[in-house]
Amino acid sequence: VEQILAEFQLQEEDLKKVMRRMQEEMDRGLRLETHEEASVKMLPTYVRSTPEGSEVGDFLSLDLGGTNFRVMLVKVGEGEEGQWSVKTKHQMYSIPEDAMTGTAEMLFDYISECISDFLDKHQMKHKKLPLGFTFSFPVRHEDIDKGILLNWTKGFKASGAEGNNIVGLLRDAIKRRGDFEMDVVAMVNDTVATMISCYYEDRRCEVGMIVGTGCNACYMEEMQNVELVEGDEGRMCVNTEGGQGEEKRPPLWGSGWSGTKRPSRDALLSPPRSDSGDRKQIYNILSTLGLRPSATDCDIVRRACESVSTRAARMCSAGLAGVINRMRESRSEDVMRITVGVDGSVYKLHPSFKERFHASVRRLTPSCEITFIESEEGSGRGAALISAVACKKACMLGQ
């Protein structure tokens, strides 16, 4: 058993090779002539600004990244003590199988139905709210409110969506329904929304990361390095898109078991207490698979799960370390202080993933001082804050 599990172990030099490979592919993804062949796509998001703390208003946000879909009302403005605050109300909706695998029209009609239901419950159908859409699938942005779906992942197969503007499909569905109006001002993926949401807590947050069904990150890149977008001034948030869910997961990112559709497998790899969970717990999980394991079998399963989850944490750490070291080198900083906003079920729920991941990232980034923030309501709140920034910018340009 130990001989087999030894193949899962990653030495420090292995991680440094992954990190260097990550940085090479990031460079290829940013360059116009090599972008198409790069395994790390480095997709521009057109998010150039972060919240200043002076944005105000009511915003609606949508969060679609799996079988559950969330609608959120976000109130941005002055709080009780005179400080800038963000308050939220949300509701979860399940995406039916026929909407996931039918047509794009069916999927977005269902989404607009959920929005209508939410607005009814909060008596806000009379308002035309700015809307931010967190859409956690590979998208090629042409502007902050225009993104072309490259390919579905995570079990979604709705026809007529790939190659089309997702915001346009949403606007069409809202128009077909006709019982409310929305101003869709921004579309981002979950990593970007997480980064912006955590920026609200810590102004040094310039990296967003998701470790769940897949593993992916975004960060603020120097505009002079983003050849896919014109302009050299300032920075733009870039979605690395190095992990695209279960169908297409390049080797540079990956939480090791992301994308599984087998709950029992998830339970084994992420036991609720510890990797050394008692034999009874492991026995009960294996029993759901129709097995009758011995005590030795349970011990072997525990060791296997520990090996896989440790490997996953270290692989994710190598990818993130590649991003952070690149940022420091681009900015010519001897020591860079930076905050990383993180979300995702594996990061939040696995009992030992977080500790192993943090330790490995810090070993691989000796010239950086890294703070990790766990995102709360990141995808929804972040999309709303990006919408608030976009609305403020539009008002300033209109004056």
Tokens of 336: 């860079």
Residue position matching structure tokens 């691989």: 364
Select from 303, 309, 301 the least CA-distant residue to 347: 309
Closest CA to 140 of 36, 245, 25: 36
Catalytic residue, candidates 145, 190, 275, 343 = 190
Nearest CA to 210 out of 308, 346, 324, 318 is that of 346
**What angle, 0 to 180 degrees and rounded to 10, lies between the N-to-C axes of helices 190-199 and 378-398?**
80
Bridge partners, residue 186, by sequence: 132
Among 145, 154, 275, 354, the active-site one is: 154
Query: 71 pairs with which residues across the strands?
Result: 62, 91
Query: Could you tell me if 106 and 158 are in contact, meaning their C-beta atoms sit under 8 angstroms apart?
Result: yes
User: Is the separation of the CB atoms in 55 and 389 below 8 Å?
Assistant: yes
Radius of gyration of the chain (CA): 22
Is residue 14 annotated as a catalytic residue, yes or no?
A: no
Whether 190 is a known active-site residue: answer yes
The Cα–Cα gap between 253 and 242 comes to 6
* Residues tagged active-site: 154, 190
